[in-house]
Amino acid sequence: MQKRKLGKSNLEVSAIGLGCMGMSFGYGPAQDTLESIVVLRAAVERGVTFFDTAEVYGPFKNEELVGEALAPFRGKVVIATKFGFQLKPNGEPGFVGLNSTPGRIKEVAEASLKRLKVDAIDLFYQHRVDPNVPIEDVAGAVKDLIQAGKVKHFGLSEPGAQTIRRAHAVQPVTAVQSEYSLWTRGPEKEVLPTLEELGIGFVPYSPLGKGFLTGKMDENTKLDSGDFRNTLPRFTPEARKANVALVELLGKIAEQKKATPAQIALAWLLAQKPWIVPIPGTKKVTRIEENIGGAAVQLTASDLAEIESAAAAITVQGARYPEQIEKMTGL
């Protein structure tokens, strides 16, 4: 597996990471813990060194899973986790709002360290920008944790360009994580140029469009009742039917390259900038192997121009999230 550095930070990770959320949260029933441990360890054996989790996934269950599965690989893998949501009481699933007060950040860090079974959190993201807490205070709290040796790198998830600049002035930001793929291109306008200027890495989540860009879904695909995609405007049957044009485009390129649509979607992201590291999620070893194969696909300037031209003619139907969640992003 090729390696990439996240910006100027010298934090080196595998060119494709693994988003771990879906193993225990969001996509229907949680996978059996032992099965998930097998998948996570298989990812390491195949060269994946970058794993993404968060306190809110479960809550807590995903961090505990990642901590247990990756315990034998301490020092060989990079684990990113996140703070920023005010959770429901008694460990109930979900959250009641945002909370990035410095005291709360430090509480989350201590709890995450225990669940992940590590001495320091490799990359600690603010999960969503909290409008009630100045980003300078957030960056200052993480700076304190870095100085105390409890966190190694600071990250932001779904921030706007000005938020990135203000945070970076207090504590250098190593990575920004936002949704980015061929059907979600919001970061291109302001965020990516800002990251390039400041030397910050970019970690696209949902790089396969929450599964849609793999070509394995259409308007007739039935999702589990507990699958959060049921709540997303972009996943209504009507939107899926309209958006299949994008999958057909990926399939056409995939045929030419003897690859899969998922591999083309990931190769396209990797071709955008050398400091971009996508984190597709999966519950299956076969999909990890397929996704890793995306890093080996070489897209020429001509291929990229063809994809760009065809994608420009396709209007993606449906918002990414319901309105109340979309408001939490700075894009």
Q: Which of 162, 153, 84, 83 is nearest to 115 (CA)?
A: 83
178 has pLDDT over 70: yes
Q: 87 and 59 in contact (C-beta within 8 Å)?
A: yes
pLDDT over 90 at 128, yes or no: yes
pLDDT at residue 193 above 80? yes
Decide if 200 contacts 125 (C-beta within 8 A): no
Burial of 114: CB neighbours in 10 Å, binned 0-12, 13-18, 19+: exposed
Query: Distance (Å, rounded) from C-alpha 284 to C-alpha 201?
Result: 27
Report yes or no on 16 lying in a domain. Answer: yes
Longest Cα–Cα distance of the chain, Å, equals 54
Q: Which residues have a Cβ under 8 Å from the Cβ of 258 and sit 6 or more positions away?
A: none
- Structural domain contains residue 152: yes
**Domains in the chain, number:** 1
Contact between residue 9 and residue 172 where contact means Cβ atoms under 8 Å apart: yes
Decide the pairing of beta strands 173-179 and 151-157: parallel
Stretch 277-302: mean pLDDT: 97
Which pLDDT tens digit goes with each residue over 33-92?
A: 999 999 999 999 999 999 999 999 999 999 999 999 999 999 999 999 999 999 999 889
| Inside any domain, residue 330 | no
Residue 184, beta-bridge partner list: 181
Kindly tell me the sign of the dihedral angle through the C-alpha atoms of 142, 145, 147, 151.
negative
Confidence of residue 324 (pLDDT cuts 50, 70, 90): confident
Which has the closest alpha carbon to 283: 21, 75, 90? 21
pLDDT score of 250 = 95
pLDDT of residue 331: 62
Count helices and strands (H / E) in the chain.
Answer: 11, 11
The answer to whether position 245 is within a domain reads: no
Residue 113: inside a domain? yes
> For residue 176, what are the β-bridge partners?
156, 202
Domain assignment present for residue 304? The answer is no
Containing structural domain, residue 14: 3-208+273-297
- How many CA atoms lie within 13 Å of 82's alpha carbon, on the beta-carbon side? 31
Q: Hunting for tokens 């360009």 — which residue is that?
A: 161
Q: What 3 state SS string does 264-328 have?
A: HHHHHHHHHCCCECCCCECCCHHHHHHHHHHHHCCCCHHHHHHHHHHHHCCCCCCCCCCHHHHCC
Give the domain CATH number at 51: 3.20.20.100
- Per DSSP, 119 falls in state S
Q: For the chain, what percent of residues have pLDDT higher than 70?
A: 100
Active-site residue flag, 125: no
pLDDT for the residue numbered 327: 86
Element (H, E) at 177: strand 173-179
Residue 219 has pLDDT above 70, yes or no: yes
Tell me, yes or no, if the pTM score tops 0.85: yes
Is residue 113's pLDDT more than 90? yes
Q: What is residue 329's predicted lDDT score, i.e. its pLDDT?
A: 81
Assigned domain for 111 exists: yes
Residue 323 counted as domain residue: no
Catalytic-role residue among 57, 125, 180, 205: 57
Lookup: tokens for 22: 């879906």
User: How many Å apart are CA 26 and CA 28, to the nearest integer?
Assistant: 6
